[in-house]
Amino acid sequence: MNNQELLELQKNACKVRIHTIEGVFNAKSGHPGGSLSAADVITYLYFKEMNVDPEKPKDPSRDRFVLSKGHCCPALYGALALKGYFSDDEIKVLRHIGAMLQGHPDMKNTPGVDMSSGSLGQGVSAACGMALAAKYDKADYRVYAMLGDGECEEGQVWEAAMFASHYKLDNLCLIVDFNGLQIDGHVNDVAGLEPIDSKFEGFGFEVIKIDGNDFNQIEAAFNKARTIKGKPTVIIAKTIKGKGVSYMENQVGWHGKAPNAEEYKAAMDELNAQLKALEA
């Protein structure tokens, strides 16, 4: 990608992070850490990779995205708002009673959300079903699903992985947001996944490992994934949990906690400074 494209993606990712903090602060609850780690990949999907149109959120030919780690919806909502699926005002009432944007994605009420999720492990199975449906329909849309590394401790993920390679779902691309942390601590201390690449290879996947906070690597990975035929692809995206808000980075305590007023100001000051530097 050229420098201008890179800059636009970086600005959008920064805006997605600002929406994330804004939403979680106003909700007084939610999951900032894994939303911030995933913001770059989600931004890339909506602003470069996927064939989607906010004017036609149900277009049968659109690419699909399933946020299997549904608790990280503040980043998804941020990207959808930025893309024009709904107004920014919705972000400010995230998780409020009666509001459209709830604590986990709801496909029935939120334009742009292709699958309800939040029960870890289930979204990836739904994504497999969507990819198989595309094969039956001879449709050429692609299906993307993002999982957490902690989520990969769920047995259902591996059942879905087996299914995806059995049915040669080369229209399916999984992304593991490998930030090293889950709810209770380090993934390695809870139930380690390594070597995750040979595990997925053993399950019949093409495996691509990248720095998931680097847009050039993200682009190369998605471009390669589109060339893989006869098997599904997984992108292992090494990321930093809390990325962009320095006091949240790599801190397990920011998995599922809202910042207080002082912390909110510090986070917004930092992200707004990043945005200003990109806009300069």
Ligand X SMILES: Cc1ncc(C[n+]2csc(CCOP(=O)(O)OP(=O)(O)O)c2C)c(N)n1
Closest approach, Cβ 72 to ligand X, in A, equals 6
Contact of residue 95 among Mg ion, ligand X, none (CB under 5-8 Å per partner type):
none
The verdict on 177 binding ligand X (CB under 6 A) reads: yes
Contact of residue 123 among Mg ion, ligand X, none (CB under 5-8 Å per partner type):
none
Closer by beta carbon to ligand X, 71 or else 142 = 71
Which of 114-122, 148-156, 246-254, 262-270 is the region at the interface with Mg ion (rule: CB under 5 A)? 148-156
Q: HEC profile for the chain?
A: CCHHHHHHHHHHHHHHHHHHHHHHHHHCCCCHHHHHHHHHHHHHHHHHHCCCCCCCCCCCCCCEEEECCHHHHHHHHHHHHHHCCCCCHHHHCCCCCCCCCCCCCCCCCCCCCCCCCCCCCHHHHHHHHHHHHHHHCCCCCCEEEEEECCHHHCHHHHHHHHHHHHCCCCCEEEEEEECCECCCCEHHHHHCCCCHHHHHHHCCCEEEEEECCCHHHHHHHHHHHHHCCCCCEEEEEECCCCCCCHHHCCCHHHCCCCCCHHHHHHHHHHHHHHHHHHHC
Backbone φ and ψ of 181, nearest 5°? -125, 150
Closest approach, Cβ 152 to ligand X, in A, equals 7
Which one among 61, 87, 119, 188 touches ligand X, defined by CB under 6 A?
119
Closest approach, Cβ 140 to ligand X, in A, equals 30
Partnered with residue 257 across adjacent β-strands are none
Closest approach, Cβ 56 to Mg ion, in A, equals 33
The verdict on 148 binding Mg ion (CB under 5 A) reads: yes
Residue 9 to residue 44: CA distance in whole angstroms: 7
Q: Which of residues 130-149 bind ligand X (CB under 6 A)?
A: 148-149
Residue 164 to residue 66: CA distance in whole angstroms: 15
Map residues 206-245 to x or -, x wherever contact with ligand X holds by CB under 6 A.
-----------------------------------x----
Which one among 20, 102, 182, 217 touches ligand X, defined by CB under 6 A?
182
Which one among 179, 213, 217, 233 touches ligand X, defined by CB under 6 A?
179
Closer by beta carbon to Mg ion, 134 or else 240 = 240
Map residues 168-197 to x or -, x wherever contact with Mg ion holds by CB under 5 A.
-----------x-xx---------------
Residues forming contacts to Mg ion in the complex (CB under 5 A) are 148-150, 179, 181-182
Residues forming contacts to ligand X in the complex (CB under 6 A) are 31, 33-34, 69, 71-72, 118-121, 148-151, 177, 179, 181-183, 241, 255
